[in-house]
Chain A
Amino acid sequence: MLKNKKCSKGYIGPIGDDLPSLIPLIFALTIFFATFTNTMTQFEKKNTLLDQDLEVLKIARVMKGNGYYSSADQFQKACQLVRTNDVYFMALITPLPSPDEPYNFSIFEESGTDLVPKDLSSSSEILLFDDPLTDPKPYLCPPYEELENYRVPFSGSLFKEAKMIQRNFPIAVETENNLGFTYVQAAQLVVIVWR
Chain B
Amino acid sequence: MALKQKGQAAVTDALFLLVIVVGISSLLYLFSSNYGFGTSAYLTSHYESDFATAAIKTILFTSVPHLAEADIKETKEIDYLVTSVKQSYSAENSPTGRYLDDETFFRLRDRIRQVLKPMETSKDYLFYIMEVDQARRILYLYGYLTDFSATPVCKGERIREGVPDATLNLAKRTEYFCVVKDPDSVSRVSQQAQGYVESRTGTYFGRLDAPTEMPAIPGEVFLSLWSTSCVTANPTIFMYQEGPITTMFPLTTDERHYISKSLNSPSVQTRINSFMEANGLLGQKQPIYCVPISDYQDALSTT
Contact = CB atoms under 8 A, between A and B. Distances in A.
B264 interface: no
Contact of B118 (A11, A21, A172, A188): A188
A36 B25 CA distance: 7
B29 A35 contact: yes
A118 interface: no
Contacts of A183: 63, 72, 78
A29 B114 CA distance: 59
Interface in A157-195: 167-172, 177-179, 181-186, 188
Interface in B1-20: 3-4, 6-7, 10-11, 13-15, 17-18, 20
Interface in A51-71: 53-54, 56-57, 60-61, 64, 66-68
A24 B15 contact: yes
Interface residues of B, number: 56
Contacts of B3: 6-7, 10-11, 17
A170 B115 contact: yes
B6 A17 contact: yes
Interface stretch (B49-57, B146-154, B164-172, B232-240): B49-57
B32 interface: yes
Contact of B58 (A23, A29, A170): A170
Interface centre among A29, A47, A103, A183 (most CB of B within 10 A): A183
Interface stretch (B34-42, B88-96, B269-277): B34-42
B61 A98 contact: no
B32 A38 contact: yes
Nearest to B15: A24
Contacts of B14: 21-25, 28
A13 B269 CA distance: 95
Main secondary structure of the interface of B (DSSP, over half): helix
B31 A31 contact: no
A20 B6 CA distance: 12
Contacts, number: 161
A38 B33 CA distance: 10
Nearest to B30: A39
Nearest to B77: A181
A177 B72 contact: yes
A181 B118 CA distance: 29
B36 to A, nearest CB: 4
A46 B40 CA distance: 9
A1 to B, nearest CB: 17
Contacts of B255: none
B111 interface: yes
B104 to A, nearest CB: 15
Given A171-B54, A181-B78, A31 B114 contact: no
Top 3 nearest A-B pairs by Cβ distance? A17-B7, A21-B14, A35-B25
10 contacts: A11-B3, A28-B18, A32-B21, A35-B24, A50-B39, A57-B50, A172-B62, A179-B75, A184-B63, A186-B62
Given A57-B46, A168-B118, A183-B63, 14 more contacts: A10-B3, A10-B7, A24-B11, A28-B20, A38-B32, A47-B36, A57-B43, A67-B58, A99-B111, A99-B114, A103-B118, A177-B72, A177-B75, A188-B118
